[in-house]
Amino acid sequence: MAQHQIDRLDKKILQLISQDARIPFLEVARECNVSGAAIHQRIQKLRNTGIIKGSEFVVDTYKVGFQTCAYIGITLSDIKMFNAVVEELKKVPEVVECHYATGKYSMFVKIYAKDNRHLLQIILEHLTLIPGIAHTETFQISLDEIFRRQLSVFEIESTIDVIDEEE
């Protein structure tokens, strides 16, 4: 597999757009002292190599009525069911994250629910009915999200090697 070298300009672009996905390309160009066309080309290359996966608006879940956030460990009855379980979890809109994990649990999920009763309903009517899930354990219920951010390591001076999955 080929390697894509992220240079200083890429790092600066990633730093700026990860702080504000709506920042105009011309403002990024001014901050980086390059042309707008250069920024368009760099961002397109970062997208094509999979380094940039998208952009998003962040919805305040609490303000739209989803006031319970829970982290749940999932044990599979057969690890061969992993991909099928993931596909079923994708169908549950309240499941917002899924992580393949080491240790006692095969995966961890993050769920937003309207309240604790709704969380229980999701567990009983969705998670426990997915073929391949042997057991779930709700670890934590978040009382409040203090902050959320993108990984911000782009100030590092050394070159970061990133695998280019497209090649």
* Sequence ranges of the domains in the chain: 7-57, 68-142
CB count within 10 Å of CB 116 equals 12
Retrieve residue 78's tokens: 């057969």
The model's confidence at residue 33, banded by pLDDT at 50, 70 and 90, is very high
Q: What is the Cα–Cα distance from 138 to 73, expressed in whole angstroms?
A: 6
More confident residue, 58 or 32: 32
- pTM confidence score: 0.77
Mean pLDDT estimate for the chain: 88
Could you tell me the pLDDT band of residue 154, with boundaries at 50, 70 and 90? low
* Residue 28 in this model has a pLDDT that exceeds 90: yes
CATH 1.50.10.10 fits 68-142, yes or no: no
Q: Is the pLDDT of residue 152 over 80?
A: no
Query: pLDDT tens, 93-134?
Result: 999 999 999 999 999 999 999 999 999 999 999 999 999 999
> For 35, how many CA atoms within 13 A lie in the half-sphere containing its CB?
3
Fold that domain 7-57 belongs to in CATH: Arc Repressor Mutant, subunit A (1.10.10)
Contact of 158 with 107, CB cutoff 8 Å: no
Asked whether the beta carbons of 167 and 4 are under 8 A apart, the reply is no
C-alpha pair distances (Å), 150 with each of 91, 127, 144: 25, 29, 18
pLDDT beyond 50 at 147: yes
Query: In terms of pLDDT, which residue wins out, 23 or 1?
Result: 23
pLDDT above 70 for 167: no
